[in-house]
Structure 1
Amino acid sequence: MVQTTSGDGIRTLTLDRPDRRNALTSAALRDLEAAVEAATEPVLYLHGAGEAFCAGADLDEVQALDAASAESFAALGQRVARALESYDGAVVAGIDGAARGGGVELALACDIRVATPEATLAETGVKLGLFGAWGGTARLPEIVGTGEALDIALSGRTLDAETALRMGLVSRVTAEPRTVAEAVAAVDADALRVLKARIRDDADRETQEQREQQAFADLTAKRE
């Protein structure tokens, strides 16, 4: 379900279930988590095989869940999203085709989201009497603001790439998302990791500034 390749500072993670638009089962989520944890490259590039990025959770599995297993399934998805978010390096999502539900949520956990002109994104769970529970209700308003997050989640509407760009849901729109990962992989790996850690830091401002000073000094020392 998750294929991995490595080269030129990039670990490519391919969601490889094109006949189901790369919908994720519990087993696939565990495979993705293991692939992220095993990676050591400065850049992870996450994308989908075929004509979709990721349709989200596998609905056949979701329909069979009871309350207890639903909680476990949500916890697993949240754990995978945290693994992407906390990866010691940059994580780039290449969104080509459809991203739905959990697919959007995994993309939200990535550092840079790059869409092709053909990409579409939607949180469609509300139409099924559910919602994506892989951390999206926290990350979506952080990224696009509360108003836009409510619009996206409560309506379940589908966004094209340009609309997603205007909202800040994606960072760029380009025909070849992988070129962004390649450009990021070309920068200094130590500085890349430090910058991600600093920007992701959620400590109070004074603590962040102290850590920033130390990180700058540490990088400077490596150049001496």
Structure 2
Amino acid sequence: MSEYENLLIEHRDALTIVTINRPKALNALNSATLTELGSALDALAGDRHTRVVIVTGGGEKAFVAGADITEMRSLSPEGGREFARRGQRVFAQLEELPQPVIAAVNGFALGGGCELAMACDIRIAAENARFAQPETGLGITPGFGGTQRLRRLVGPGRAKELLFTGDTIDAAEAVRIGLADRLVPAGGAMAAAVAMAEKIAAKGAAATRYTKVAVQRGADMNLAAATAYEAEVFALCFADPEQAQRMGDFVDKRPPRRT
């Protein structure tokens, strides 16, 4: 199942499930876990068989309850900078994976856990999920991208409120403000994530990857540049054999086939 100490990697046909597996520490992200996650993401980036990735936390209490405070408490400014940059590098790897990534959020997604979820493409939150960026209460700022991704998801005013106060919000509120995308019953996040992943995996693999990169890169462009980039990835689809097969299946009224 897994070659890692702090992660579980499970392959299910075209899906891969990555579980942060430190339940006794509420899946807190220490340096070793970040290193393992970076290694796992490197492998997934080159895995043409995996069409969708699901990220979740082990146990029932937490998705990820944050970065490991036991490790952080004695860091120097230089050590703090390196710890933040390490987390940022790994979360950028996650965000830039060619495959769509779904976060199945069970329990606490606090600090680094909230930042981990925000680096995923889609967040499915169980009713018992709780989200917060509580770092100011510990005398620090978010360090793994929280000040930037939260603002992009929920807007500057709501982001600043959550960042300044450190308030915890429930799953329903997270969905309402756009921090999470779907609310499901407690215990149902993984099943919902798998169902969504299977639906995505049944679509054209190259088309899905090109769609993700168009959305990601277009977010930093003006509309004219972004739509021009969209035309380029649209064109690339016609070099993919799956396009001809799927369009042929549609025209000939055959069930779509996955290559």
TM-score interval w.r.t. the shorter chain?
A: over 0.9
Residue deviations 1:94-140 (CA, integer Å, cap 9, x gap): 10011110000011111001101111111111111112210111111
The answer on 1:160 being equivalent to 2:170 is: yes
Specify which of 33, 36, 41 is matched with residue 41 of structure 2: 36
Q: Gaps spanning 5+ residues in structure 2: where?
A: 1-5, 245-259
Within 5 A, what are the aligned runs for 1:2-13? Answer: 2-13=7-18
Task: State the Cα RMSD in Å.
Answer: 1.2
Ranges of 4+ aligned residues in structure 1 off by more than 3 Å: none
Query: How much has 1:58 moved relative to structure 2?
Result: 0.6
Q: Is the deviation greater in 125-134 or in 82-91?
A: 125-134
TM-score (norm 2): 0.83
Q: Gaps spanning 5+ residues in structure 1: where?
A: none
The answer on 1:207 being equivalent to 2:216 is: no
- For the 8 Å contact 1:101–1:131, the answer to whether it is kept is no
Q: Is the deviation greater in 80-89 or in 171-180?
A: 171-180
- For the 8 Å contact 1:81–1:134, the answer to whether it is kept is yes
Partner of 1:126: 136
Query: How much has 1:3 moved relative to structure 2?
Result: 1.3
Partner of 2:211: 195
Q: Distance in 1 between matches of 2:56 and 2:201?
A: 16
TM-score (norm 1): 0.96
Specify which of 156, 167, 177 is matched with residue 192 of structure 2: 177
- For the 8 Å contact 1:116–1:177, the answer to whether it is kept is no
Flag the structure with more relative contact order, 1 or 2, with Cα contacts below 8 A and sequence separation at least 6.
Answer: 1
Partner of 1:141: 151
Specify which of 60, 77, 91 is matched with residue 101 of structure 2: 91
Query: How much has 1:221 moved relative to structure 2?
Result: 4.2
Higher gyration radius (CA):
2
- For the 8 Å contact 2:109–2:130, the answer to whether it is kept is yes
Partner of 2:71: 61
One-letter amino acid matched to 1:203: M
Query: How much has 1:25 moved relative to structure 2?
Result: 0.6
- For the 8 Å contact 2:133–2:146, the answer to whether it is kept is no
Partner of 1:19: 24
Count of residue pairs brought into register by the alignment: 224
Q: Distance in 2 between matches of 1:220 and 1:107?
A: 33
Partner of 1:109: 119
One-letter amino acid matched to 1:211: Y
Q: Percent of counterpart pairs with the same letter?
A: 38
